Amino acid sequence: MVNTRTVVFDLDGTIYQDTAFYHDYISYLVEGTAYQAWGPRLDAFAAGVFAGQGLVMNSFYRSQRVAAQDPDEYFAALTAQRCTPRTYEDALVQEGIVYLGDAWAVVTYLGTTLGLMDDGRGDALYRRMRCKMEQDGMTGSPRLKQAISRLAGRCDVIMMSNSYEATVLEFLRQLGFEGLFPCICASANKPHGMIGALVARRPDVFARAETVVSIGDHAFNDLMPVARMGGRTVWINPYPQVAKAACDVELASLDELADYLDGLS
């Protein structure tokens, strides 16, 4: 039995789940643009991706802008942009590609390839979605909160997010999870900065790599860096029909995650 010493949590899609946010996101994305009439088609296309159709999740795609006259031409061009970096290291440094590892990556990819994320528009859209989630009264899972609290009494628990610290803290407050995580590492620059951030916190963290567990829904950002160091990985995946990501454990729901955490020793 491996004694777990460090557990790293992602934020979005890991300690909360919202599989319907993309409807609002796409509506906001095209609002007031030349693509506004495309909204329903883009929404249906995204739903298909999450059902395992169209684009292949947990794959890399070239992210250059696509010039198309209609949605059908655009969707055909997107599917042709799938690519496969030769190695993990190539994927880390190659510009102009994106890994479709979660729902946020998919809808952001649509915005990027339509040319709708420039001049701060992408950041503004993200903030608008956060406000919408707060207005909708999103709350965290009490069962998961209790499991994380118990876990923090047994090992080193870290929240690691690419979002700014203020964004992370505010979102944890909305979930009712304020003060839950003893360590918060924001603006973490995952995957590139993940290992460095963990080593900076505890230099010997990977001396016994099998005692480190990383939990997240975006395999390239959250899981692959730790897996390559010899750590264990837990993939949170609410989309049963998509292509699978490499991981040690796959979980679909927050209740399953709570049970898993309670079983860690």
Q: What DSSP string runs through 108-139?
A: HHHHHHTT-STTTHHHHHHHHHHHHHHHTT--
How many domains does one find in the chain? 2
Where residue 226 falls among pLDDT bands split at 50, 70, 90? very high
What is the amino acid identity at position 115? G
144 and 256 in a single domain? The answer is: yes
220 and 131 in a single domain? The answer is: no
129 and 142 in a single domain? The answer is: no
- Decide: 216 and 9 in contact? Cβ < 8 Å: yes
Separation CA 75–CA 72 (nearest Å): 5
Q: Does 164 fall in a domain?
A: yes
pTM, to two decimals: 0.94
pLDDT of 197 above 70: yes
Q: Does 88 fall in a domain?
A: yes
33 and 84 in a single domain? The answer is: yes
39 and 110 in a single domain? The answer is: yes
pLDDT of 133 above 90: no
Quick one: which H or E segment has residue 8?
A: strand 6-9
Could you read off the pLDDT of 207-225 as tens digits, one per residue? 999 999 999 999 999 999 9
* Phi and psi, residue 106, nearest 5°: -65, -50
User: What CATH number is given to the structural domain containing 242?
Assistant: 3.40.50.1000
142 and 259 in a single domain? The answer is: yes
Coil/strand/helix, residue 155: coil
Q: Does 1 fall in a domain?
A: no
Asked which of 101, 135, 169 is the last residue of a domain, the reply is 135
Tell me the HSE value of 111 on the side-chain side, using a 13 A CA sphere. Answer: 25
- Decide: 125 and 32 in contact? Cβ < 8 Å: no
Separation CA 13–CA 28 (nearest Å): 20
Q: What is the mean pLDDT of the chain?
A: 95
Q: Comparing 139 with 144, which gets the higher pLDDT?
A: 144
Could you read off the pLDDT of 76-101 as tens digits, one per residue? 999 999 999 999 999 999 999 999 99
145 and 90 in a single domain? The answer is: no
Could you read off the pLDDT of 98-107 as tens digits, one per residue? 999 999 999 9
pLDDT of 114 above 80: yes
Separation CA 115–CA 110 (nearest Å): 9
Could you read off the pLDDT of 145-189 as tens digits, one per residue? 999 999 999 999 999 999 999 989 999 999 999 999 999 999 999
Domain that includes residue 165, residue range: 6-17+138-263
Q: For the residues 198-203, what does the mean pLDDT come to?
A: 94
125 and 143 in a single domain? The answer is: no
What does the pLDDT read at residue 1? Answer: 55
Asked which of 107, 135, 163 is the last residue of a domain, the reply is 135
Q: Does 224 fall in a domain?
A: yes
Q: Does 250 fall in a domain?
A: yes
pLDDT of 244 above 80: yes
Asked which of 93, 108, 135 is the last residue of a domain, the reply is 135
